[in-house]
């Protein structure tokens, strides 16, 4: 048993799509979420910068005495997870491996990946898919405008529909589409409409929650209390639209945000 909180971070509000799934599956746990809004977007930055930013956010979470860290960001997972595991002596879970495990279980061979420019450039998804499913065919597409639009709350208007159409119109004959950036589940409705066929649209947060639960129970790290858990949210910059998007995502009238330096 371990009653310390679970730490989770992303560049902004995208990781809240993961947080929501963790809260559903592990409701008794406490969570500390950091949105690195001062450094948003991660998707257009170099690997070196992403590594530096991840180091800082993980140090923040370790200072807050979390028991495990979830990198709720495709860009950071694909470019910094391995490095972070070398530096820090705390369990760290990213979004790629748990999702690839799910794809393999489903025996999918034709897979689409949409993600940020940095994630697609790193080839992190395709490499991990091929390691596990060698004959898989992967179609990748960078969608650099989607995460900033999600931060703005533009996830179901005409501009969002046009952008989604433009980005995914050439992805054909897939069984599954990975939303390889944690901001993209916010566009799920219009992505579904755009694909028009029976494609499994994958919200990585669901797989991350399964993986985290398994890890926590296998290592006796579960919270011992029966109460429903508490979530604290910190941002590196408060001048942003985070609260409004997070409120609608979490279906709450009120969310308390604190500033972290
Ligand atoms: N939500 C992030 C991801 O999963 C980062 C988006 C961004 O900051 O560009 O890639």
Provide the residue ranges of all domains of the chain, joining segments of one domain with +.
6-94+206-259, 96-204
Both tokens of 29, joined, read 């746990």
Atom of ligand 1 nearest to the CA of 78: 10
Asked if domains 6-94+206-259 and 96-204 share a fold, the reply is yes
Indicate which residue of 54, 73, 143, 240 is catalytic: 73
Query: Cβ distance 100 to 74 under 8 Å?
Result: no
pLDDT, tens only, 165-211 = 999 999 999 999 999 999 999 999 999 999 977 899 999 999 999 99
Average pLDDT for 63-83: 98
Indicate which residue of 54, 143, 181, 240 is catalytic: 181
Atom of ligand 1 nearest to the CA of 115: 10
Based on the number of CB atoms within 10 Å of its own CB, is 251 exposed (0-12), middle (13-18) or buried (19 or more)? Answer: exposed
Average pLDDT for 151-155: 96
Measured CA to CA, the distance from residue 259 to residue 261 in angstroms comes to: 7
How far is the centre of ligand 1, averaged over its atoms, from the C-alpha of 132 (Å)? 24
Average pLDDT for 113-133: 98
Residue 261 has pLDDT above 90, yes or no: no
Residue 197 has a pLDDT of 79
How far is the centre of ligand 1, averaged over its atoms, from the C-alpha of 148 (Å)? 9
Q: CB atoms < 10 A from the CB of 136, how many? A: 18
Ligand 1 pocket, residue 181 CB under 6 Å: yes
How far is the centre of ligand 1, averaged over its atoms, from the C-alpha of 14 (Å)? 7
Q: What is the CATH class of 96-204?
A: alpha beta
Both tokens of 246, joined, read 């997070």
Q: Which CATH number among 3.40.50.1860, 3.40.50.620, 3.90.960.10, 3.90.1150.10 corresponds to the domain 6-94+206-259?
A: 3.40.50.1860
pLDDT, tens only, 29-61 = 999 999 999 999 999 999 999 999 999 999 999
Residue 220 has pLDDT above 80, yes or no: yes
Residue 158 has a pLDDT of 97
Of residues 179, 25, 33, 199, the one with CA closest to residue 99? 179
Q: Using CA atoms of 21, 186, 70, 92 in order, give the dihedral in degrees to the nearest 10.
A: 120
Residue 236 has pLDDT above 90, yes or no: yes
The rounded percent of the chain whose pLDDT value lies above 90 is 97
Is 143 catalytic? The answer is no
Distances (CA, A) of 87 to 9, 60, 65: 17, 14, 17
DSSP state of 231: E
Beta strands in 89-149 (DSSP E): 92-93, 110-115, 137-142
Atom of ligand 1 nearest to the CA of 119: 10
């Amino acid at each position: 048993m371990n009653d310390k909180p679970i730490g989770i971070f992303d560049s902004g509000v995208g990781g809240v799509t993961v947080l929501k799934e963790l809260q559903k599956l592990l409701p008794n746990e406490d969570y500390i979420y950091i949105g690195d809004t001062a450094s948003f977007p991660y998707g257009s930055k170099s690997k070196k910068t992403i590594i530096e930013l991840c180091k800082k956010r993980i140090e923040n979470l370790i200072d807050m005495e979390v028991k495990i860290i979830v990198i709720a960001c495709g860009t950071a997972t694909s470019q910094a997870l391995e490095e972070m595991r070398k530096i820090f002596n705390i369990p760290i879970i990213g979004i790629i491996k748990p999702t690839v495990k799910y794809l393999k279980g489903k025996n999918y061979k034709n897979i689409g990946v949409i993600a940020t420019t940095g994630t697609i450039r790193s080839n992190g998804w395709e490499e991990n898919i091929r390691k596990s499913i060698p004959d898989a065919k992967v179609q990748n597409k960078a969608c650099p405008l989607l995460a900033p639009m999600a931060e703005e709350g533009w996830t179901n208007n005409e501009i969002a529909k046009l952008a989604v159409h433009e980005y995914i119109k050439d992805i054909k004959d897939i069984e599954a589409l990975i939303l390889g950036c944690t901001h993209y589940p916010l566009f799920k409705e219009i992505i579904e409409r755009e694909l028009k066929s029976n494609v499994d649209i994958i919200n990585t947060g669901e797989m991350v929650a399964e993986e985290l639960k398994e890890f926590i129970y296998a290592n006796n790290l579960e919270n011992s209390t029966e109460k429903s858990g508490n979530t604290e949210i910190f941002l590196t910059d408060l001048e942003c639209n985070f609260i409004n998007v997070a409120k609608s995502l979490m279906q709450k009238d009120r969310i308390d945000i604190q500033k972290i330096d």
